[in-house]
Amino acid sequence: MQWEEASFLADLETLVMTDSYSRDPEGVARVADFLAGRFTALGWHVDRRDLGSSAGPALVITNRPSTRYEVLLLAHMDTVFAPGTAAERPFRVEGRRAYGPGVNDMKSGLLMTYYVAQALTDELGDASIAIVMVPDEEIGSVASRGVVEELARQSAYCLVLESARASGNMVNERKGIGDYRVIFHGKAAHAAVGPENGADAIRAAGLLMPKIYELASPADGTTVLIGTIAGGTTPNSVAARAEFSVDIRLVTPAEGARVDAVMQALAGPAAVDGVTIEVTGGIVRPPMPLTDDTVAFCKAIDAIQERLGITAAWEASGGGSDGNLVAPFGVPTVDGCGPVGGFPHSPDEYLELDSLAPRFALVAETVRYCLAHPRPTYRERQ
């Protein structure tokens, strides 16, 4: 099948003009309806997973149901833009760039999965491919994590069709992410009349902060950030409550275990009498490490790039994606395989139209490589 840009752009406009904010299940469901219809018409099996009232559905799409998939393609249907954004900033094409909310992150990559499936359907034979589309990647894939991990256990390779970097680079390593809230429960009192009757939550928070930052380990690639802090009610009151958020980025599972153990152990009495500490959250995305198997997979993709006349390098990222949920199962995982663009999550988000045909060819040829080079899945290794 030859690449058809006009058809792709028409479908892309439909998707971009369908608001699908992560916390708008109805909007995400409309995107799911569109894609489910396309894949069903193609003859693929669509398993629509209900993830509850607070999230849109997840789609597990396969050319044929199986317990083993030669390759897993990952994409997300949600964006960071609130309902109404598409009407305010509608899809448009200027020169060789397309604009609109989510055009780059990641509705173009999301749609690319369908065009690749369409191109490969007639040659799959007995091979099995799985595509997972989630509704909540932008808010941590909390509802859909189990679905992604289920398919990860059954898949031999994984391609994440998040957009490539503006340079065209792809991603073969991502840090894990820890996301915590540390909440201090104290007792209110007047600042001048009986302050000793209170228990100062803000003071307890301030005393603990330096210890939080000490969790960082530059040598191990572990970073720590207290990103938000709140507390108190009035300037002349002892604070009955305070809280701060902690963002952790880490390279190795061992570091994740170390940091999480320390964070969870904070729960209990604080350094200030009468104040107790509550800790919520945890390691929400494990690291996506650059394993020997992933390096070999990258080299194979590099050979495909050379054959196709494409030049794209590999890089590591401190940000997470659903690839982080697949890699811990020993699946060679590469990310940023989608089209090229820039300024995601902003009004200036764009997609490079000249990247569409090369990325379509690269993903299709990489899937063919996976079909021709089978490897055991996590489930088969157990």
pLDDT tens for the chain, 382 residues long, are 678 999 999 999 999 999 999 999 999 999 999 999 999 999 999 999 999 999 999 999 999 999 999 999 999 999 999 999 999 999 999 999 999 999 999 999 999 999 999 999 999 999 999 999 999 999 999 999 999 999 999 999 999 999 999 999 999 999 999 999 999 999 999 999 999 999 999 999 999 999 999 999 999 999 999 999 999 999 999 999 999 999 999 999 999 999 999 999 999 999 999 999 999 999 999 999 999 999 999 999 999 999 999 999 999 998 889 999 999 999 999 999 999 999 999 999 999 999 999 999 999 999 999 999 999 999 999 8
CA terminus-to-terminus distance, the chain: 38
- What confidence tens digit (pLDDT) does each residue in 287-334 have? 999 999 999 999 999 999 999 999 999 999 988 899 999 999 999 999
pLDDT at 2: 76
Asked if residue 135 lies in contact with residue 28, where contact means CB atoms within 8 angstroms, the answer is yes
b/e map of 76-94 (b: 16 or more CB within 10 Å)? bbbbbbeeebbeebebeee
Q: Nearest to residue 378, comparing CAs of 105, 157, 144, 161?
A: 157
Start-end of H helices in the chain: 5-16, 25-42, 85-88, 108-120, 145-152, 201-213, 253-265, 292-308, 323-326, 356-372, 378-381
Q: Please give the angle made by the CA atoms of 200, 205 and 206, to the nearest 5 degrees.
A: 100
pLDDT at 138: 94
pLDDT at 1: 60
Q: HSE, CB side, 13 Å, CA atoms: give it for residue 234.
A: 7
Enter the pTM of the model: 0.90
pLDDT at 83: 97
Contacts of 327 (CB under 8 A, 6+ apart): 158, 286, 287, 288, 289, 291, 294, 333
Domains and CATH numbers, the chain: 5-174+288-381 (3.40.630.10), 176-285 (3.30.70.360)
Residue with tokens 């780059």: 104
Distance separating alpha carbons of residues 60 and 48, to the nearest angstrom = 6
Structure letter (DSSP) for residue 106 = I
